[in-house]
Structure 1
């Protein structure tokens, strides 16, 4: 019997430490998409079912809560310990909102600094092309 493909090891290699928020979030979305649980990050939280709800509605809510819990666990497991402690009582949606508030501005500032350096880079007349191109590639990546 063939083993199913798991992408969770990319999260082990790329734990969230702060400055890598954009890359980490991209990896979270990839893993959850592969596990068919990415829909929980869309922000459309299901409301708890009432007593008069149909069995299908109750089942759908239980599946949603289970998937949300699994997404939350994947997120917490792939973050640094200090961030785990800070977010352990939140669900996946609240974690993402809080992390965006914490790190998205820093990521934008860092990208701006890199782009500024990229656009300001000039090759000196008579200098070799290769080091300049490598420096430019470094800024782009």
Structure 2
């Protein structure tokens, strides 16, 4: 039996190309939430364990590293080849998330602004100000 998350099919069908960042990210969160690992998108694991760490804390840290690797793998597997090459050396899922948000969330915001402006200009041109 496969251990692959069945929800990951939505990532296969909706690969990140850039302009579809919002839709892709929503689908990614669905998959990561189902695995209970979405926290790694916002919380970077330490690069190494402190020398005096307890066994319990070390186990938690190793689990975080495993979750981060799993999330990073979902992210990279669901990107276009160009984006995979760009982010394959990125250390953790939180850094990938941050860079993608910087690259594409701003663009999406700009597109929304342009769309609202276009609608406003159209409304002004028609003189249609009523409800």
TM-score by length of 2: 0.82
How many residue pairs match? The answer is 123
- Secondary structure at the aligned position of 2:52 is classed as coil
C-alpha displacement at 1:61, in angstroms?
A: 0.5
Contact 1:46 1:64 in 2 (8 A): no
Larger relative CO (CA 8 A, sep 6+): 1 or 2? 2
Q: Which runs of 5+ in 2 are unaligned?
A: 127-131
Q: CA deviation at 1:44?
A: 4.9
Larger Rg: 1
Q: Secondary structure at the match of 2:53?
A: coil
TM-align CA RMSD: 2.4
Report the secondary structure of 1:53's partner residue: coil
2:103 is matched with 102
Match of 1:70 in 2: 70
Give the TM-score normalised by the residue count of structure 1.
0.77
CA deviation after TM superposition for structure 1 residue 119, in Å: 3.4
How many angstroms does 1:49 deviate by?
2.0
Specify the SS of the correspondent of 2:57.
Answer: helix
Structure 2: how far apart are the matches of 1:67 and 1:28?
A: 14
Provide structure 1 residue ranges, at least 5 long, that are not aligned to the other structure: 125-141
Segment drifting more, 99-108 vs 31-40? 99-108
Q: Which residue of 1 aligns with 2:56?
A: 56
1:61-140 matches, within 5 Å, as 61-90=61-90, 91-122=92-123
- Aligned residue runs from structure 1 range 13-32, under 5 A: 13-32=13-32
Query: Matches of 1:50 and 1:39 in 2, distance apart?
Result: 22
CA distance in 2, matches of 1:47, 1:18: 29
Please give the secondary structure, in 1, of the residue aligned with 2:6. Answer: coil
What displacement does 1:41 show?
1.3
- Over 3 Å counting, the alpha-carbon distance change for 1:58 and 1:84 in structure 2 is same
